Every structure is written in C-alpha cells, then in structure tokens.
Amino acid sequence: MISFEPTEDQQLVRDTVASFASNQIRPIARDADESGQIPDSVVQQAWELGLIQSAIPEEHGGYGGDRSAVTSALVCEELGYGDLSIAMHVLAPRLVTYPVLELGSDELRKEVLPDYCGEKFVPGTAAVMEPSMGFDLNDLQATATRSNGSYKLSGAKCYVPLGSEARHAVVYAREGDGTAAFVVKTDSPGFEVAEREKIMGLKGLATYEVMLNDCTVPASARLDGDLKPIFNRSRIALASLAVGVARAAFEYARDYAKDRKAFGVPIAQKQAIAFMLAEMAIEIDSTRLLTWEAAWKLDRGEDATREACLAKNYAAEMVLKVTDNAVQVLGGHGYIRDHMVELWLRNGRGFAMFEGLALA
C-alpha cells in the first residue's frame, strides 16, 4: 500500500545524520574545499555514527543492522546536504564492504570485513571510472585476464577516492564480454597510485588516478555474482547525494532571497525569483521520490536497473539546474567564494559523469 513515510527507525537514523551534517559537516565544508583536506576528527566522528559498521553482520564484527537501500537513500541525502566531498570520504569504506558483503565468498568476507569494524576509520575505495570519453560501466577498458589460478588486472583508472590511503580497492575490469569486480589489497604489486587529481569540484575529497600494471590477484579475490544490484545501489546513492546537494543550494538561495532587497522589497517577492525557487523545490521532490522508488524496488530484490538509471540521470540534470539557479538567485554574490553556492554548482556538475563513486 502506497506510503511516503519512513519507518520510525529510518527517521531516527535520518535525524541523527541530519544533525551531524548540519552541525559537524557544513561548518567545515568551505574549508575542506579550499584546503583540500578533511579533518580527521570529523571523519572519526562520522565513523562513530556506525554508518559503515552497522550493515556488517555481527559474526564479522559489525552491528548486523539494516541494509535497506531506502535507509541508505535517506542517509546519503543528509550527508550530501552537509557536503559532498566529506560525504564521499566518510562513505568510502562502503565501496569495499558493501560489494564484499553482497558478493564475496565466505573466505573473503572473513578476511576483509573485520578490518572495517574497528574503532578507527579505515579507508576503503573502488576503482571504477576510467579517463576516457567513452567510459561505460558495461564496456570497460581495463581488463582482467585469468592465468594459473589468478587474475592479472591492467589498465588506467581515475577518480579513485582515498586511493593512496585505502586498505582495499574493489577494482572493476572487463572480463570477456562483461564486467567483473576484484577485491585488491592496495599494496599489491602493480597497483600504482599516481598523483592526486585536480578536479573542478569535490576538492575536499582526495581522488587519484590508479595504474593497473599487470596487478596480480588470487582467483578468490573475484566477486562472484551479478554486479547489477551493486551498480544500481551506487546510482541510488549518487542520486540521493545529488538531492542533498540540491537541497542545500535551494535552502541557501531561498533564505538569501527573503533577506536580500531590491526596489524596496525582498527579491523573493518578485515572481522571477519566486518561480525559480518553486521549480527548484518541485524538482528536488521529484528526484527524491524517483530515487526512493528505485531504492524500494532494489530492497524487494527486483531488478531496479531502469528505475535506478532514470533516477540517477534525472538527479544529475536536476542538481546542475538547481545549483546553477541558486548561483543565479544570488547574482554577483553567488559567484563569490564567500557564499557556498558556487561550491555546490561545482560539485553538482560532477554527477553526470560519476559512476560507482559512492555506495551506501
């Protein structure tokens, strides 16, 4: 039966993360963007919320909690509302734990998961994207070749978050006609992390190019099973993060417009501005509902590819438009780095290219 109300547990999680995002993340977001650094203390505080550990079963050291994609969507929106770089940083371990949890062999689960259940934040990552205009999850350039009971991984990867410090990376590569995923220890020979990337947005998040030079991993490192639910889960996480970024920009522009006067009245009382804000609100809600629906379908164990792709693509367009409008509402002030909206526009622009960059 149709309902738009999260469960009480979900509301509790959302409220907790929302308050963390507003009180701990947002105040340092500008600084993180300017300095390219996220303070360890905040990362550790986020870790202590248990977002990573909660989904890991107790037998592997976690809390054995909720693994619902709907819950994740709620969490991602709030983290994205705080700051996208910090959200992706604190969620990065999920890039390892989630695929291992879903598709790893017992052996792999035992080996990897306890690492991410300790008291301190442990970085993990994924090497998904590639520095090519034709980048396509289902048509990767990096290859995995099997020989003598192990796999050789070759190719170039980019946008690998926390690449230099991560303990494990889940590497996605072409195997035959399809895409396969491998859990790689980042100190494996042939896993070569290049310099930190300089990108338009996400400046607080350390991302790296990674070269796979015949990086050899045991056959047991290969995740066994359908990767589609993982990809879809990532699309839902990205779409929810985009909703959070857009909501941040919308609220900022709304408050500014009520405060800023022109011709003797707040500019929000001018239809040109008021209508922009109304459309922003409608599109944010539209995207959130599309994303929830995709997450709900995924939670039911159904193929949510169509819904997840539609939601993610819609979100990518929406967040660009909303953040751009937010800059526009502030006019010249929106272009100045004293205000947050230019940061959200830079971060928002990325969603159309992001794939596999976040999981929750």
Which residues contact another protein (rule: CB under 8 A)? 1-7, 10, 70, 133-138, 231, 254, 257-258, 268-269, 271, 274-275, 277-279, 281-282, 285-287, 289-290, 292-293, 296-297, 305-306, 309-311, 313-314, 316, 352-353, 355
C-alpha 251/C-alpha 255 separation (Å) is: 6
207/287 with CB nearer another protein: 287
40/279 with CB nearer another protein: 279
293/342 with CB nearer another protein: 293
The nearest distance, CB 353 to another protein, in angstroms, is 8
Length in residues, the chain: 360
Burial of 6 (0-12, 13-18, 19+ CB in 10 A): middle
C-alpha 90/C-alpha 293 separation (Å) is: 25
The nearest distance, CB 18 to another protein, in angstroms, is 17
Which string of DSSP letters, residue by residue, matches 216-234? EEEGGGB--S--HHHHHHH
The nearest distance, CB 7 to another protein, in angstroms, is 5
Assigned token pair, 161:
């978050």
105/305 with CB nearer another protein: 305
Q: What's the one-letter identity of residue 68? A: S
CA 201, chain centre distance (Å): 14
Characterise 356 by phi-psi region: left (phi > 0), alpha (psi -120 to 50), beta (else): left
Question: Dmax of the chain from CA atoms?
Answer: 78
83/355 with CB nearer another protein: 355
Helix axes 69-82, 271-299, angle to 10 degrees: 150
The nearest distance, CB 209 to another protein, in angstroms, is 19
Catalytic residue among 78, 209, 342, 355: 355
C-alpha 349/C-alpha 48 separation (Å) is: 30
The nearest distance, CB 356 to another protein, in angstroms, is 11
Helix axes 84-91, 26-35, angle to 10 degrees: 90
Is 355 one of the annotated active-site residues of the chain?
A: yes
The nearest distance, CB 83 to another protein, in angstroms, is 23
Burial of 200 (0-12, 13-18, 19+ CB in 10 A): exposed
69/153 with CB nearer another protein: 69
For tokens 């709620």, the residue is 74
241/257 with CB nearer another protein: 257
Assigned token pair, 321:
């438009």
Q: What's the one-letter identity of residue 250? A: F
Assigned token pair, 316:
């990518």
Strands (E), 142-224: 143-147, 150-161, 168-175, 178-185, 191-196, 207-218
C-alpha 357/C-alpha 76 separation (Å) is: 13
The nearest distance, CB 280 to another protein, in angstroms, is 9
Which positions are catalytic?
Answer: 355
